[in-house]
Each structure stands twice: as structure tokens, then as C-alpha cells.
Amino acid sequence: MNATRVSYTLESTLASVNKAEQAAAEVAAKSCFDPDDCGRIAMAVREATVNAILHGNRYDPSKRVTVSFESTAEALTVAVRDEGAGLDPTTLPNPLAPENLLKQSGRGIFLIQTFMDEIHFRNLSPGNEITMIKFIRAPGRSGKQGG
């Protein structure tokens, strides 16, 4: 299978979150992920897009979010890029700490880490990019690859 790439440039609105999630579900299904993994990938992309729009671009109508997908025989790689101030992932609070359990926000990155095999942050100055990778497993195999 050759690499397949597709990219979307989205407005900084909540409607864009649904577009990104739907695109992720479709790309994951075409990449031969099972329905459970398709749901996990779509949710990870949804969370990353919410973060980009809400925390990165702060709903600024002049700023865009780019969501790109690259599918190979080995993995699906998704990058979500905003045009905001950037993020230092080491400053994020632990969502499982007792003082954070009842907070309304702060679980997006945790969910992304749970649902995807690898995540990487890159500060673009301006902007931030999160790259998420989900490996395609051969039938009958389980567990994360490459680690």
C-alpha cells in the first residue's frame, strides 16, 4: 500500500471539530482499522482539534486549524496544527490527580495518549502541532508495536 495523504484546513469553530472527527473515522476505516480503533482514533482527533481551536486559536476567526492524515501499510499518522501561542506539554496538570478529577477540562491529552500509540508535540512559533500515530496491527497480534 502506498502512502495516502489528505489534509483539511478548518475554521476555528466547534463545527470544525465534527468535520475533523468524521474525517478521522473515514480515514481510519479506509486504513483497515477495526471499528473500536476507528472510534478511538476519531475521539483522539476530536480532542486534539478541540484543543487547537479552544486553547490554541482561542476561537479567533482569522486563525485556522490544519488536520492532516497520512496512511501507510504500517500506521496512520495524524497531525493537528493551530496558529496560536503554542503549548509546553510538560506544564499540563495530571488529570488523574485527586484535585483534578472533577474538573470539566484537562483530559484531552490524557485521552489522546490512551487511544494512540505515540504522540509528539512541536512548537511552531506561532502555533503548535500535535502528531498522533496509531500502528496497524496484523490480525491475531495485540499490544503496542515499536515500544
Q: Which domains does the chain have, with CATH numbers?
A: 4-135 (3.30.565.10)
Report whether pLDDT(1) > 80: no
The predicted structure's pLDDT at residue 139: 58
Residue 95: pLDDT band (50, 70, 90) is: low
Contact between 141 and 95 under an 8 Å Cβ cutoff? The reply is no
Q: For residues 144 and 42, which has the higher predicted lDDT (pLDDT)? A: 42
The predicted structure's pLDDT at residue 146: 40
31-80 tens-digit pLDDT: 999 999 999 999 999 999 999 999 899 999 999 999 999 999 999 999 99
63-99 burial: b if 16+ Cβ within 10 Å, else e: bbbbbbbbbeeebbbbbbbbbbeebeeeeeeeeeeee
Residue 99: pLDDT band (50, 70, 90) is: confident
Report whether pLDDT(28) > 90: yes
Report whether pLDDT(90) > 60: yes
* Residue bearing cell 468535520: 19
The predicted structure's pLDDT at residue 101: 59
Looking only at the bridges linking them, the beta strands covering 4-11 and 75-81 are unpaired
Handedness of CA 122, 42, 72, 110 (dihedral sign): positive
Query: Rounded to an integer, what distance in angstroms lies between the CA atom of residue 4 and that of residue 52?
Result: 24
The predicted structure's pLDDT at residue 144: 44
Report whether pLDDT(91) > 90: no
Query: Rounded to an integer, what distance in angstroms lies between the CA atom of residue 111 and that of residue 39?
Result: 12
Looking only at the bridges linking them, the beta strands covering 75-81 and 128-135 are antiparallel
The predicted structure's pLDDT at residue 27: 97
